[in-house]
Amino acid sequence: MRARFYRFDQATSPYLYILPFFVLFGIFGLYPLGYTAWVSLHDWSLLSDEHPFVGLKNYGELLADPYFWNALRNTISIMLLSTVPQLIFAILLANMLNRKIRLQTLFRLGMLLPNVTSVVAVAVIFSQLFGRDFGLINWILETLGLGRIDWQAGTASSHIAIAVMIIWRWTGYNTLIFLAAMQAVPKDLYEAATLDGATPMQQLRRITLPMIRPTLIFTVIISTIYGMQIFAEPQVFAGSNAGALSGGNARQFQTLTLYLVENGFSKGFEFGYASAVAWVMFLIIIVFALINFVLVRRVRSAS
Total count of residues recorded for the chain = 303
Residue 191's pLDDT band (cuts 50, 70, 90): confident
pLDDT of 303 reads 58
* Other C-beta atoms lying within 10 Å of the C-beta of residue 295: 12
Domains of the chain: 63-299 (1.10.3720.10)
Mean pLDDT of 115-137: 80
pLDDT of 218 reads 83
Q: Which long-range contacts (CB under 8 A, 24 or more apart) does 226-229 make?
A: 226/170, 227/75, 227/78, 227/79, 227/80, 227/82, 227/83, 227/166, 228/75, 228/79, 228/256, 228/281, 228/284, 228/285, 228/288, 229/256, 229/257, 229/281, 229/285
Q: List CB contacts of 159: < 8 A, sequence separation 6 or more.
A: 74, 77, 78, 81, 253
Per residue in 196-223, pLDDT (tens digit) is 888 888 888 888 888 888 888 888 888 8
Mean pLDDT of 81-98: 89
CA distance 101 to 21: 40
Cβ contact 254:71 at 8 Å:
yes
CA distance 285 to 281: 6
Cβ contact 253:74 at 8 Å:
yes
